[in-house]
Amino acid sequence: MIKLSLVGIGSGNPEHLTLEAIRVLESADVILLPRKGDEKTELADLRRTIARNVLKTNPRIVEFDYPVRDANTPKYLDGVNTWHDALGAIWGQLIGEYAPDTGHVALMVWGDPSLYDSTLRIAERVIAQGIDVEVRVVPGITSLQMLTAAHAIPLNSLGAPVQITTGRQLRDHGWPEGVDTVAVMLDGECSFQSLQTEGFDIWWGAYVGMPDQLLMAGPLKDTGPKIVEARAEARAKHGWIMDIYLIRKP
């Protein structure tokens, strides 16, 4: 049986790798390393840095080009599923080529493979191809943890629940009922602008844990426009951006 390890590597700082993550990566025979286009070369470079400077062994590094998701598909989930199918086919092909019967294949996953990430769904597609793999998840520090740590705030207010959601959900359905704290991930449109800004506080971070980390916090009414401007400038400068934010009703 082939081992397939999905290893959480944190949010951009090699020092945030757990000892388990390092040990599992060092034990791999092959590490699959995605390339996501010229705009996101920094992401591939970080993975290369980890393999070169952190690991004490020399697993084979196999790079592959990430397919582009068709954003024009009428139904969002149809486009995502088609994209995942394409990735599953690529993984299956590479696993079959570099670990055809036995062996240990690993992928470095931003944050944690189980929180708003699709690597587990793609791994299911590999299994569906009839490839005999045993999937293992190594948890990693998430951008949500890095955000609250960077702002030195607790995730929730005392005794209260938190909802983790996406920008799309916030735009389409508004503030969820029954919670006073919402963490928003995967938001490329600053969807907090869809809320009535009175009565909310926001804590925002981009490139959290990386040298270019940006942080802003304050009342949404005053801070929101500043975040929109800073986000646009950062994306223009780097060609890509990863950000996350927490909104709370005081």
**187 and 70 co-located in one domain:** no
Range of the domain at 89: 2-138
Q: CATH code at 107?
A: 3.40.1010.10
- Write down which residue in 138, 168, 187 finishes a domain: 138
Cα separation, 201 vs 181, in Å, equals: 10
**17 and 72 co-located in one domain:** yes
**48 and 159 co-located in one domain:** no
- What pLDDT is recorded for position 39? 61
**11 and 56 co-located in one domain:** yes
Give the whole-number percent of the chain exceeding pLDDT 70: 98
Q: What are the tens digits of pLDDT across the range 49-98?
A: 999 999 999 999 999 998 888 877 778 888 889 999 999 999 999 999 99
**194 and 121 co-located in one domain:** no
Task: Band the pLDDT of 153: cuts 50, 70, 90.
Answer: very high
Task: Band the pLDDT of 200: cuts 50, 70, 90.
Answer: very high
Give the number of C-alpha atoms closer than 13 A to the C-alpha of residue 221, restricted to the C-beta side.
Answer: 6
Q: What are the tens digits of pLDDT across the range 117-146?
A: 899 999 999 999 999 999 999 999 999 999
- Write down which residue in 138, 168, 185 finishes a domain: 138
**121 and 179 co-located in one domain:** no
**126 and 156 co-located in one domain:** no
Top-ranked range on mean pLDDT: pick from 30-39, 73-82, 108-117, 166-175 = 166-175
**14 and 110 co-located in one domain:** yes
In terms of pLDDT, which residue wins out, 245 or 44? 245
Q: CATH code at 200?
A: 3.30.950.10
CA distances from 21 to 24, 72, 108, 153, 211 (A): 5, 37, 9, 27, 21
Can you give the pTM of this predicted structure? 0.88
**6 and 124 co-located in one domain:** yes
Count the domains in the chain. Answer: 2
Give long-range contacts, CB 8 A cutoff, 24+ apart: 233-242: 234/206, 234/207, 238/42, 238/207, 238/212, 239/38, 239/39, 239/40, 240/39, 240/40, 240/42, 240/43, 241/206, 241/207, 242/11, 242/12, 242/110, 242/143, 242/206, 242/207, 242/208
Which residue intervals of the chain are DSSP H helices?
19-27, 41-49, 76-98, 119-128, 143-151, 167-173, 220-238
**115 and 44 co-located in one domain:** yes
**14 and 116 co-located in one domain:** yes
- Write down which residue in 116, 138, 160 finishes a domain: 138
DSSP 54: I
List the structure tokens of 72. 């024009």
pLDDT for 198 beyond 90: no
Give the whole-number percent of the chain exceeding pLDDT 90: 75
Token pair 């009175």: residue: 198
How many residues in the chain? 250
Q: Is 152 exposed, middle or buried (0-12, 13-18, 19+ CB in 10 A)?
A: exposed
**57 and 165 co-located in one domain:** no
In terms of pLDDT, which residue wins out, 35 or 62? 62
List the structure tokens of 170. 């916030």
